[in-house]
Amino acid sequence: MDNELIKIISAGTPIFHEGAPGDCAYIIQSGEVEVSMLINGSNVAFAVLEKGELFGEMALIDNSFRSATAIARTDVELLAISRDYIEQKIELSDPTVRMLLQVVLERYRDVHARLHDVSESLREHESTTATSTIGSFFNQYLKLSSKLASAITSRHAHSNPSDKVVADLASTSNSIIKEINLKNALDNNEFELFYQPIVNIPEGTIAGCEALIRWNSPTLGFTPPDEFIGLAEKTGLIIPIGQWITAEACRAASEFRKHRDIYMSINLSTRQFESDSFMNDIENAAKAAGLNSDCIKLEITESILMSNPELAESCLNKLKAAGFSIAIDDFGTGYSSFSYLHRFPIDTLKIDRSFVNAMFSNERSKEIVRTLSLLAKNLNMKTIAEGIEEKNESQQLDTFGCDYGQGYRYSKPVPKDQFLALLKHKSLPAT
Ligand code: C2E
Ligand code: CA
Ligand code: CA
């Protein structure tokens, strides 16, 4: 795993010292960490942390010094979370949550400071009055302060966190690992586009293809798009990733078009669509690849249209005026408001695979597919049926007048070279 992300520390080595500035928080991946504080000049260990637990976050939250010392009790493997990462998360959080976090932390720091003051004065007192009462009071105080520190800083070594806390920490740890890896994935060339043919149903010829992203992460393994596109959207990483996708898909399209006159379909996400640079990005990508905009189809979902209809309308009108075509992806699974079919300049409906797959088990699904094909024809739009796996499905779609199809019956999404081979040699099954 990435060296900056995972730190291996051997038993007995300090991870950080009380009073030092903090640059990282950590989640324990394996091993045990002991946390201690200086109380009355002696180091009081108050917690042993285990796999899945977070520590070292406080100095990052309020930009202060370490309030405790952490030492590897055994050999440990730590997931390091940088200051930038935490600051960015706090910046993006709800202002009320941000305020609560600050208040809780200030209270903690306040209690911590008082503990020190009280213990200091008790120590002075002890040195001047050698009575056993004071001595025993002082010892009790030490125990109490260590317990208090433990209670407010972390769970105690022998208390068991609930299953929910363990599960939450594990899932937080996984999403942090995924996010940090995702940030580096573009620079490390870990993405690849696969291409799935879009087939003219009656002829069985390739009319276009859809670019589908793949992430081959050396640390997380093969990660399907459904498992990272949402995260890329949430973190804004979809903007640079989307720029790479459009540029790469355009380059591939110009290569494919040397063999056959096909179009390239590119998926767009909401965040990309809303970004100021989007129109420029797509026009520049097409120009750089020497492509006319009319051989690029942009796939958008119903939710993009419904979340901000005014923006969608002006953006789609601009794209249309620039010559790009627009397809509605997964049609029928979102809001399916017919109002946008006449409001927005849409060329193609992609009928979601859930309807196509259910055609022979559910009469209504079949009727929906038939009606959508007819509706599209009457509105002068094209239809693409998604997820065709069986011959009887493509035959049925042909009788409904559905123009194009996509699915494993023709081909799974394949890497660029294999798609080129499909274009050059292989004939695809017609209906
Ligand atoms: P989608 O746009 O609906 O893409 C079609 C998905 O259906 C693809 O999954 C494809 O592999 C799968 N598929 C195709 N034919 C069949 C079939 O016959 N049977 C079955 N069961 N599945 C079939 P994939 O590649 O895993 O992509 C999943 C989703 O991730 C896509 O759904 C899309 O929403 C998103 N995605 C993929 N690539 C990109 C991208 O480059 N940009 C953005 N923004 N989203 C992407
Ligand atoms: Ca799609
Ligand atoms: Ca789809």
CATH number at residue 51: 2.60.120.10
What value does the mean pLDDT take over residues 198-205?
A: 95
Same domain, 197 and 88: no
In the reported structure, the alpha carbon of residue 344 is separated from the centroid of ligand 2 by a whole-number distance in angstroms of 18
Number of domains observed in the structure of the chain: 2
For a mutational test of ligand 1's pocket, the pick from 195, 212, 303, 353, i.e. the residue with the most ligand atoms closer than 8 A to its C-beta, is: 212
* Distance spanning both ends of the chain, measured CA to CA: 48
- The pLDDT, as a whole number, for residue 89 is 84
Whether 165 maps to a domain, the answer reads: no
Is the confidence at residue 160, as pLDDT, over 80?
no
| Phi, psi dihedrals of residue 267, rounded to the nearest 5° | -80, 135
Share of the chain above pLDDT 90, in %: 58
- The pLDDT, as a whole number, for residue 155 is 46
Same domain, 145 and 200: no
Is the CB of 334 inside a 6 Å radius of any atom of ligand 1? no
Same domain, 254 and 377: yes
The parent domain of residue 313 ranges over 190-423
- The pLDDT, as a whole number, for residue 156 is 44
Same domain, 117 and 65: yes
CA of 226, nearest ligand number: 1
Whether 158 maps to a domain, the answer reads: no
Say what the pTM is.
Answer: 0.81
- The pLDDT, as a whole number, for residue 45 is 87
- The pLDDT, as a whole number, for residue 226 is 95
In this structure, are residues 422 and 414 in contact, taking their beta carbons and an 8 Å threshold?
yes
Whether 294 maps to a domain, the answer reads: yes
In the reported structure, the alpha carbon of residue 97 is separated from the centroid of ligand 1 by a whole-number distance in angstroms of 36
Please return the burial class of 161, using the count of CB atoms within 10 Å of its CB with bins 0-12, 13-18 and 19+.
Answer: middle
Non-local CB neighbours of 234 within 8 Å, separated by 6+ positions: none
Same domain, 275 and 404: yes
Closest C-alpha to 343, from 371, 368, 315? 315
State the DSSP H helix or E strand holding residue 177, giving kind and residue range, or none if neither.
helix 163-185
Whether 160 maps to a domain, the answer reads: no
Q: Pick the range with the lowest mean pLDDT from 147-151, 252-256, 294-298.
A: 147-151
Same domain, 201 and 289: yes
- The pLDDT, as a whole number, for residue 230 is 93
Confidence band for 129, pLDDT divided at 50, 70 and 90: low
Closest C-alpha to 10, from 107, 76, 85? 76
The residues whose Cβ lies within 5 A of ligand 3, an ion, are: 329-330, 386
The predicted-structure confidence for 323-351, as pLDDT tens digits, reads as follows 999 999 999 888 777 888 889 999 999 99
Same domain, 257 and 206: yes
- The pLDDT, as a whole number, for residue 1 is 43
Between 43 and 199, the higher pLDDT residue = 199
Same domain, 118 and 257: no
Confidence band for 60, pLDDT divided at 50, 70 and 90: confident
- The pLDDT, as a whole number, for residue 277 is 92
